[in-house]
Structure 1
Amino acid sequence: MKRTLVALAALAAAGVASAQSSVTLYGRLDASLVNTTTKLNGVKQYPATKTGIDSSQLSTQFWGMQGTEDLGGGLKAVFKLESNFNIDDGTQDTNGLFAREANVGLTGGFGGIRLGRVYHAYDTFFGAVNHTDNTNINVSTDVARVGLDHYAVRTSNGIRYDSPKFGGVQVAFTYGFGENKTATQSAADQYSLAVWYADGPITAGVAHQRREFQGQPDLKHTVVGGGYDFGMVKLVASYQEARRTGTKDRDWQLGVKVPMNAFTFYVGYADSDSKTGPTKLNADGWALLGTYALSKRTTAYVGYERFDREEIINNARAKRKVDNLAIGVRHTF
């Protein structure tokens, strides 16, 4: 009888322990038939002009593991590992096994803090005001890169803090340590800060990112934006500036989202210019996207995007024009 009671007690303790922690395997698959035409000064470019099966046209695909452990008193230990891959050929992301995310941290009444490879706070807010609901059928990145590099989406060797919400207001901060300091050069650190309000139909905020480079001037990005959900239609807009000594980029975008039962339609437009001394480059583009929810986890979609961008190639002005049509399906698990 005593042995039976001891065994039952051990099983009960194991059940309690397992209830206090969990590990989840999850992911997203996105494959589509894609037709892309790329022209430089009116001449088709190969292999950029192509028709075939591609990955991540609607949403970047990945698989991941995340877990939590209840430490008591509202404190939890958390971890996340996420890995990108290509569904068209099954290859792994060349940037590393867990190049998307690899971090561990704590969450509680104070908010949350994570260490490792983390998303920049800047990217979190920018995605909230993207003109096609943070999908990949958008031209904001292509248009914004008319002069300077796009902002950094993630950082390695990073620490990220997310505050709790206070009346709809939330703050996020990310700092990435360069870890490449030498006797003559400082480490190329980077950081970003985002503050936004999201409550009911309203979203509004601002974010700033600064990246140091060894032997080069710092690169700074600032974005302000917001949106309003009227129910039958949602509008978003943002304005972004990028600065590095001698160069200034400006871009803005506007997006419209219209949900209709299982269908959702998006229209987005983006425009930018870059000025370095007397040289000025321009870019603009637009995107159309329609999705149909086959279930809570499976979505069929058709998307089209087009952009025109001026570039300096071999010290001469050139114009790049890209048209991209994608018909595909996305599944999450």
Structure 2
Amino acid sequence: MKKSLLVLAALAASGAAMAQSSVTLYGVADAGIGKIELGSSGRSPGNDASNQTEFISGSKMNNGDSRIGVRGVEDLGGGLKMSFNFESGLDMDSGASTTSAFWARQANLSLGGTWGTFKMGRASTPSYNGVAAWELTGGANYSVVANTYNYAGSGSRNNSQFSYKTPGGLGGFSAELGYVTKADNADRAKWDLNLIYANGPITAAFAANKQKDEKTGYSLGAKYNFGSFVLAASYNDAHQLRRGFSVGGTAKFGAFSVTADIARDTKNVSGKKYTNFLLEGKYALSKRTFVYVAGLRVDSTNNYGIGVRHNF
């Protein structure tokens, strides 16, 4: 009898522990047809920069990269939670991985509580999160800001990153600080940070990053949501190699939206100052699926894409 009671108690305890944990499979499927001009900078994991109209996936002219990921969280009690996130890019041209490392998009572990969140591993940079907070396309592959100045002059992810993010509920303010040791970055320690204010119709963010032997890169941007119209502007410095401003807007007509965004150099060490621009149209078929058409002129190259994106 006692053994039976002990077994039942163990099963009940196990069930309670399992109820406090969850694992979620998620992903994005994004593909279409488009043209990326030869010499155009930016991403093309599927070798889609051929200057020909072709199937595109994971390219500069897709709204986003196709991906599959898994994330989980365990409630440790006392307000503490442990979580993880693994994410892999997928090239829908062939079904191949878009990178040599399978979990190259995200591979990290986090401990969070009322004091904030501490994260370790390959993860999005604070600069990327800062720019994406106000950027009109939400950090789409064809973002004119990202294709001109990157994310405060940095990439969208860091390897071997330690980061801390403040908790919510600070009057709309949040901050995130990331650090990569010199041993993990070719003897060049790197810091990366953002400061974000998001309250009501206003979102503003400052992002900055620096590693040894280079100037500080930074971005200051903001957007204001009028309801049916969103206006955004920014100033960006890509480590003093290139700097300039952007201004644009998004008009919403029910399920349809149109975005126009312009980036203009005020300095470019290449010797030529460019005016780049993006025109995007999107139509939501549901909360998780939309079709899009986008045209991007960047550094004298003309590119376009027509596709569909499904989030699951």
Same fold, TM-score > 0.5, yes or no: yes
In structure 1, C-alpha distance between the alignment counterparts of 2:238 and 2:219, rounded to whole Å: 9
Gaps of 5+ in 1: 41-45, 310-320
Contact 2:233 2:245 in 1 (8 A): yes
What do the CA deviations read for 1:108-146 (whole angstroms, capped 9, x no partner)? Answer: 00110101112211111111222433222322233337x
One of 96, 106, 109 as aligned partner of 2:101: 96
Contact 2:261 2:277 in 1 (8 A): yes
Shift of 1:69: 0.6
Q: Secondary structure at the match of 2:147?
A: helix
**Structure 1 counterpart of 2:238:** 242
**Structure 2 counterpart of 1:54:** 56
Q: State the one-letter code of the partner of 1:228.
A: Y
Shift of 1:280: 2.8
In structure 1, C-alpha distance between the alignment counterparts of 2:184 and 2:82, rounded to whole Å: 30
Shift of 1:14: 2.8
One of 256, 259, 265 as aligned partner of 1:272: 265
Provide TM-score, normalisation by structure 2: 0.88
Greater share of residues in strand: 1
> Does residue 30 of structure 1 match 2:33?
no
Shift of 1:249: 2.0
Shift of 1:58: 0.6
* CA RMSD of superposed structures (Å): 2.4
Shift of 1:233: 0.5
In structure 2, C-alpha distance between the alignment counterparts of 1:150 and 1:92, rounded to whole Å: 26
What do the CA deviations read for 1:190-226 (whole angstroms, capped 9, x no partner)? Answer: 11111121011011131211022xxxx3142111111
Q: State the one-letter code of the partner of 2:124.
A: Y
**Structure 2 counterpart of 1:314:** none
In structure 1, C-alpha distance between the alignment counterparts of 2:2 and 2:252, rounded to whole Å: 63
Provide TM-score, normalisation by structure 1: 0.83
**Structure 2 counterpart of 1:318:** none
Alignment CA distance shift 1:39-1:67 (3 Å): closer
> Does residue 142 of structure 1 match 2:147?
yes
Q: Secondary structure at the match of 1:299?
A: strand
Overall identity of the aligned pairs, in %: 34
What do the CA deviations read for 1:224-280 (whole angstroms, capped 9, x no partner)? Answer: 111110001011111011335xxx42121112112222112211111114354xx73
The list of structure 1 runs, each at least 4 consecutive aligned residues, that deviate by more than 6 angstroms after superposition, is 1-4
In structure 2, C-alpha distance between the alignment counterparts of 1:92 and 1:219, rounded to whole Å: 34
**Structure 2 counterpart of 1:313:** none
**Structure 1 counterpart of 2:211:** 211
Q: Secondary structure at the match of 1:231?
A: coil
In structure 2, C-alpha distance between the alignment counterparts of 1:243 and 1:18, rounded to whole Å: 48
In structure 2, C-alpha distance between the alignment counterparts of 1:219 and 1:99, rounded to whole Å: 27
Alignment CA distance shift 1:39-1:61 (3 Å): closer
In structure 2, C-alpha distance between the alignment counterparts of 1:95 and 1:131, rounded to whole Å: 31
> Does residue 129 of structure 1 match 2:134?
yes
> Does residue 109 of structure 1 match 2:105?
no
Contact 1:131 1:254 in 2 (8 A): no
Q: State the one-letter code of the partner of 2:280.
A: L
Q: Secondary structure at the match of 2:148?
A: helix
Deviation larger for 198-207 or 235-244: 235-244
Contact 1:151 1:221 in 2 (8 A): yes
**Structure 2 counterpart of 1:43:** none
**Structure 2 counterpart of 1:174:** 178
In structure 2, C-alpha distance between the alignment counterparts of 1:160 and 1:180, rounded to whole Å: 14
Deviation larger for 110-119 or 293-302: 293-302
Q: State the one-letter code of the partner of 2:166.
A: S
Shift of 1:4: 6.3
Alignment CA distance shift 1:64-1:23 (3 Å): same
Please tell me whether Structure 1 or Structure 2 has the larger radius of gyration of its CA atoms: 1
Contact 2:291 2:307 in 1 (8 A): yes
In structure 2, C-alpha distance between the alignment counterparts of 1:223 and 1:252, rounded to whole Å: 9
Alignment CA distance shift 1:99-1:219 (3 Å): farther
Alignment CA distance shift 1:4-1:80 (3 Å): same
Contact 1:190 1:209 in 2 (8 A): yes
Q: State the one-letter code of the partner of 1:174.
A: G
> Does residue 257 of structure 1 match 2:250?
yes
In structure 1, C-alpha distance between the alignment counterparts of 2:89 and 2:39, rounded to whole Å: 29
Alignment CA distance shift 1:113-1:280 (3 Å): same
